[in-house]
Structure 1
Amino acid sequence: MKSTLRLCGVAAALALCLGSVRADVKPYGGDYEAAPAGTDLFLLYYQHHEGDEVYSKGKKVADDLGVRLDIGLLRYVHFADWNGYRIDPQIIVPFAHQRTSAADTTYGGLGDVIFGGTLWTLNDPERKEYLGWSVFITAPTGSHRDDGFAVSGDRWAADFQVGYVRRLAPKWTLDLIGEVEFYADRRYDDARRDPLLQGHAHLRYHWSDATQLALSYRHSWGARERADGTTLTGRRDNNNMTVGWDSWLARDWQLQLQYTRDLEVREGLKTQGVQARLLKVF
């Protein structure tokens, strides 16, 4: 009987945590600085996230889940001019391997494809000031969509972002990014998710012309999920800190490293993780 209850608890906890862990590319300092038209970028990401504690309504509801998620992402970005504006159409293809020791499950495969881009209404490289507006669409193309695979939400989603960048001093830059994501009903059970609001603030220190350090704070609200009148996951009010380093190894190669950690989690899995990104300019 106790074993059955534990398995039920693990299943409920996994339903909570998989709503908060996703394969995505969170906006980072420098992402809203437009490159010259004609520039092509190819990016390869590796992310490792892990977590044991799950929270619901601010209270811990599960521990020792042993969730480990290794994610790779391929991203292609092309910068061009359109009607007097700079734009960057792009596509992101995630793939991942997910392990959960408490439920003894392992999944692997492709995640949901993301496509979209940014349009800059302010693009001033001399003053280092930028204002960009982005739309990203997520298509439910991933593997194991109805098996609790974290990199597939089994629903369409539309993510709208606005990012402002300003050089505060010769060595300091501030990036402020707001976003709201809307979701279609999940396909296998018609679960409805409220919009997710997120705010990002990045303070960057330019160590040299090639290298910078960044401190990032992120906060998320909303995304309550319901099905058949039952609340599956509550409203998020979570925050996170990230520290990062990136440097140009050569004129056309950049390496970025990040460490990220959730500070407070009202709803979902509390995680920490690392990311490495390799960027190639064509």
Structure 2
Amino acid sequence: MHAFQLATLMLGLQLPIVCHALDVDPGDYTPMPDGTQLGLLYLQHAERHDYYVRGNQLGDKYNLYSDVSILRGVSYQAFAGVLTNIQLLLPFGHLSAGGDIKGMGSESGMGDPILANAVWIHQDPSTNRALAVTQYLFLPIGDYNKNKELNIGENRWKYVLQGGYMHGIGSRVILDFVADVTFFGDNDRYSSRDLTLKQDPQYQMQGFIRYMFSERAAMHVGYSRLWGGQRKVDGTELEDESRQAKIMLGGSYFVTPKAQLLATLGRDLSVENGFKEESRVNLRLLYVF
């Protein structure tokens, strides 16, 4: 491997995997009645074997496995007729390297907690249509060690502004459209040399088509596009803009009137820089209090 490619790989691995992109699930922007409380548990397993630099594959033995769990609480309140919610997300993760990067070992711990707030601009439950805006603030208090290549936390602030629109077509089909932009603070303890990491804003668009078999059961197909986010380390451009496309397929079912299980399978279609996900399994348990 060329020295530049190796250096790029090492710097890429310094980024955490837990919340690299702010993925959503279909139905996340469904308006809930005033006073509703939700508790959610997310479980995710992902496998990566290929690493890309500027669209070129470095090899197929750069194995990185991640297992992530997230506890999420959501509370809905209406103020002057406007529906809002407040959220707290607590991520935990385990990373394990293998193949040609096995020497990087593994890492477990807590990711950066997330505070969130959504405001519904429009909602019409009778037609399954809604429009809302959500903001997320990532707190840099997760587990981070500058001397390790693998980290669960990021040691930097992050702010995400996201808009979501839900559009019902008849009684069976619902479209979900979500777009967001992520702004990054600086990490001034990047790597063992205490370098400073800066990153340009990163953009993501996601879309789902849901088919409702009944009020309890549904299936969905989704597509996501991620771009931007080029990094700079101590003033040096890494030329590593994120350009990722992926697909998702899954379904959901209310096992009881208050408990829903959602499962999604996904994989990357293309990656310009970084690891390419060969497979991902997401499970989500939602409970309405």
TM-score range, shorter chain: over 0.9
2:95 is aligned to: 98
Query: Cα–Cα, structure 1 residues 208 and 47, in superposed 2: closer, same or farther, change >3 Å?
Result: same
Q: TM-score, normalised by structure 2?
A: 0.91
Per the alignment, do residues 264 and 90 of structure 1 end up closer, same or farther by CA in structure 2, a change over 3 Å counting? same
Structure 1 residue 14 displacement after superposition: 4.3
Share of identical aligned residues, percent? 27
Q: Which residue of 2 aligns with 1:28?
A: 25
**In the comparison of the two structures, how many residue pairs are matched?**
278
Q: What is the distance in 2 between the residues matched to 1:269 and 1:241?
A: 16
Length-normalised TM-score, structure 1: 0.93
Inter-partner Cα distance in structure 1 for 2:6 and 2:111: 23
Q: 1:71 to 1:17 in 2, by over 3 A?
A: same
Q: C-alpha displacement at 1:83, in angstroms?
A: 3.1
In structure 2, the partner of 1:67 is: 64
Q: Does residue 281 of the first structure (1) align with residue 282 of the second (2)?
A: no
CA RMSD of aligned residues (A): 1.9
Q: Is this contact kept in 1: 2:16–2:153, CA < 8 A?
A: no
The match for 2:257 among 251, 254, 265 is 251
Correspondence 1:130 to 2:130:
yes
**Structure 1 residue 233 displacement after superposition:** 5.3
Q: CA deviation at 1:103?
A: 3.4
Please list every run of 5 or more consecutive structure 1 residues that lacks an aligned counterpart in the other structure: none
Identify which of 176, 199, 208 aligns with 1:202: 208
Corresponding residue number in structure 2 for 1:78 = 75
1:91-120 CA deviation, whole Å, 9 max, x = no partner? 100011110022331100100101112100
2:5–2:53 Cα contact (<8 Å) kept: no
Cα deviation digits, residues 229-269 of structure 1 (max 9, x gap)? 32335112210101111110001100011101000101111
Q: CA deviation at 1:131?
A: 0.2
Structure 1 pair 281/11, CA: closer, same or farther in 2 (3 Å)?
farther
Q: Which residue of 1 aligns with 2:53?
A: 56
Flag the 1:36–1:81 CA change in 2: closer, same or farther, 3 A. same
Unaligned runs of 5+ in 2: 190-194
Q: Which moved more, 1:207-216 or 1:141-150?
A: 141-150
Q: Is 1:143 aligned to residue 140 of structure 2?
A: no
Q: Deviations over 1:206-231 (max 9, x none)?
A: 11110110101000110000112323
How many angstroms apart in 1 are the aligned matches of 2:4 and 2:65?
Answer: 20
